[in-house]
Amino acid sequence: MDIIAVLIKFILAAVTIVVVFSIAGLLTWVERKQSAVMQDRIGANRAAIFGITAFGLFHAIADVLKMLSKEEFIPAGANKFLFNLAPYLSVTFALVGFAAIPFGNQLIWGDRVIELQAANINVALIFVFAMMSMGVYGVVLAGFSSNNNYAFLGGMRGAAQMIAYEVTMGAAIMGIIMVFNTLDLQQIVRAQGAYLFGGWLPKWGVFCQPLAFILFLTAATAETKRTPFDLPEGESEIIGYFVEYSGMKFGMFFLADLIETVLVAALMTTLFLGGWQVLYLFPDGFHFPWGSFIALPNIAVAILGMVAFIIKLSFFIWLLMTVRWTLPRFRYDQLMRLGWKILLPASLVNIAVTAIILTLLR
Amino acid sequence: MENPQQKRQELEKYFDAQSPFALFRVAQMKRSWQKPNRRELSWWENTYIPSVASGLWLTSKHFFYNFFFHILHLFGLFKNVKAAVTFEYPEKPRPLAARARTRHRLTKREDGSPRCVACMMCETVCPARCIEITAAEHPDPNIEKYPAEFILDLGKCVYCGFCVEVCPEDAIRMDTQRLDIAEYTRESMIYNKERLLNG
């Protein structure tokens, strides 16, 4: 345990946090702009610094400034400690999940092999799931401590929804665990570097487990608490758990939602789209299935991997945003029916079919 | 079954008030009629997949079309293809029909003096009585009078356009294409000759 190894870990963790915060901050702008482009509008373009609008990018800064300068209101009769704790729980647990996400392959520096991952935990998948489930406590505490019946009901809806969809999420992931035989996310991504059908089709999760992909996408969308599954929040009319929050505490719930969107997108990338894998790129360079070979140094491979990860991440963020701005909200009974009667049995069937196929292939 | 007349006859046949099952039968009949209008969703539709997919397809089509042309507009290409339906109103006013009755202006002769001959036709016809002309003798003997002052109170004007139609000299028009007339005081809604002549 030398000091340089600690420093490297520290840098990796700092980079992860900074990048995630930047992406989440950017998403406030992306959300407004993408919805505008989808709906034939122009979107946020007014905030300007010295006449420069930069496509409305300054709106993200303006939003934060507005929230920081607003009054922090705590309702009478609220449990002050829990009321203040809830937004921090939401943000913290959403952020901690990123520690286990691998965003690149090994970087070789002298005689050191640096895994591009803030923490290589051998049960990373379970760790991420645990952190995502802990995020529910923020929702429930916010609803219960506000001393407001609407917030209370919002918290109840949130708890029920999270339980219903986390079961499906865990069951959908079982197929992936069975195929790749590991819980370590870095190992799962490495395993996705193999190729099927004579080296043409990558062994990505989405090709091995197409049904699990759809199930996980649905359950994960529900996990981010955004439309079509925004019953805990219901920002427009049914009023959610953070109705009593104002200023930056509301901003933190808002941020937690966006961080969870990024986390879910990162998890989808890692599990189903090969993480940092680039098509036909191996640690020593490109091996194309038609036989040609391009040698690349280790640093180029590592950078290509990180770029690939960011591109895949952006694709999933785009997809989640498109879903959020396309579909209307589910009714509560539809939500529960979808969770318990459609997704859960489908994920169980997926496990059984995967087990049978794997046994036959062995 | 399709014919309403037939339906009623069938209902009357079943509806025997003395029968213990009368109400039940009526309810059953009504339900059977409603059936053709309320289609049962198939198993595939109940998974939400087809409707979700078609919705995503529609919105992504819009997204990529608009995104593509927004990018091209940045490079000054294909400016005639619209990527958004937005009118950026205060900066770029929305185009109006050429005949839309908008704020008045006084037209000028070639030497820059008003064409108005102070005939008082507009002042007379104005239903809102918002025009007030002070006539004076014109130095040119060919022209009888000219407006020494021409006051138009836009706070009273109803934009009927009678003044324009009645004018024998084509001296007043409502073609400035300006509708956003907002002021902080009633006094500044009153336009004098200079304001009406210049813009």
Is pLDDT of A45 > 60?
yes
Cβ within 8 Å, pair B84-A41: yes
Average pLDDT, chain A: 88
Cβ within 8 Å, pair A327-B62: no
Query: Which residues have a Cβ under 8 Å from the Cβ of B90 and sit 6 or more positions away?
Result: B180
Chain B, residues 78-117, CB within 8 A of chain A, namely 83-86, 88
Q: What is the pLDDT of residue A87?
A: 92
Cβ within 8 Å, pair A42-B88: yes
Report ipTM (2 d.p.): 0.87
As given in the structure block, the two tokens for residue A140 are 């429930």
Residues of A with CB below 8 A from B88's CB? 42
Provide the number of CB pairs (under 8 Å) joining chain A to chain B: 45
Alpha carbons within 13 angstroms on the beta-carbon side of residue B66 total 21
Query: Which of A37, A214, A323 is opposite residue B70, by nearest beta carbon?
Result: A37
Mean pLDDT of the A125-130 span: 91
* Residue B133's pLDDT band (cuts 50, 70, 90): very high
- Other CB atoms within a 10 A radius of the CB of residue B82 amount to 12
Q: Quick check: B50 and B44 in contact, CB under 8 A?
A: yes
CA A134 to CA A289: how far, in whole Å? 44
Cβ within 8 Å, pair A42-B86: yes
As given in the structure block, the two tokens for residue A77 are 């009769």
CA A171 to CA A354: how far, in whole Å? 12
**Nearest residue in chain A measured CA to CA from B88:** A42
Q: Using a pLDDT cut of 70, give the percent of chain A over it.
A: 100
Q: What is the pLDDT of residue A308?
A: 92
List residues in chain A touching B: CB distance below 8 A: 34, 36-42, 214, 322-323, 325-327, 338, 342
Q: What is the pLDDT of residue A290?
A: 79
Q: Note whether B74 contacts A: Cβ–Cβ < 8 A.
A: no
Average pLDDT, chain B: 85
Q: Quick check: B33 and B39 in contact, CB under 8 A?
A: no
**Nearest residue in chain B measured CA to CA from A46:** B88
Sign of CA pseudo-dihedral B83, B87, B92, B95:
positive
Residues of B with CB below 8 A from A36's CB? 84
Q: What is the pLDDT of residue A228?
A: 87
Residues of A with CB below 8 A from B58's CB? 326
**Nearest residue in chain A measured CA to CA from B74:** A55
CA distances from A43 to A39, A57, A83, A354 (A): 9, 11, 34, 45
Interface test with A, best of B59, B61, B86, B91 (most A CBs within 10 A): B59
CA A358 to CA B143: how far, in whole Å? 104
Q: What is the DSSP string of A188-232?
A: HHHHTT-EETTTTEE--HHHH-HHHHHHHHHHHHHHTT-TTS-TT
Query: Which residues have a Cβ under 8 Å from the Cβ of A362 and sit 6 or more positions away?
Result: none
Q: Quick check: A264 and A221 in contact, CB under 8 A?
A: yes
CA distances from A243 to A187, A235, A238, A286, A332 (A): 42, 9, 10, 53, 19
Cβ within 8 Å, pair B60-A40: no
Q: What is the pLDDT of residue B36?
A: 60
Tell me the whole-structure pTM to 2 decimals: 0.82
**Higher pLDDT among residues A59 and B27, named by residue:** A59
CA B107 to CA B115: how far, in whole Å? 6
Cβ within 8 Å, pair A40-B56: no
Residues B10-69 have pLDDT tens digits of 666 655 556 666 667 667 666 666 666 667 778 888 888 898 999 999 999 999 999 999
Least Cα separation, residue B145 to chain A (angstroms): 51
Q: State how beta strands B105-106 and A293-295 pair.
A: unpaired
Residue labelled with tokens 């952020």: A95
Cβ within 8 Å, pair B86-A34: no
Mean pLDDT of the A196-208 span: 84
CA B150 to CA B106: how far, in whole Å? 9
Q: Whats the size of chain A, residue-wise?
A: 362
Q: What is the pLDDT of residue B131?
A: 94
Phi, psi of A296 (to 5 degrees): -135, 145
**Nearest residue in chain A measured CA to CA from B62:** A38
Q: What is the pLDDT of residue A300?
A: 87
Residues A298-341 have pLDDT tens digits of 888 888 989 999 999 999 999 999 999 999 888 888 889 888 98
Cβ within 8 Å, pair A38-B70: no
Is pLDDT of B184 > 90?
yes
As given in the structure block, the two tokens for residue A309 are 């990860």
CA angle A194, A200, A202 (to 5 degrees): 35
Residues A157-181 have pLDDT tens digits of 888 998 889 899 999 999 999 999 8
Q: Note whether B54 contacts A: Cβ–Cβ < 8 A.
A: no
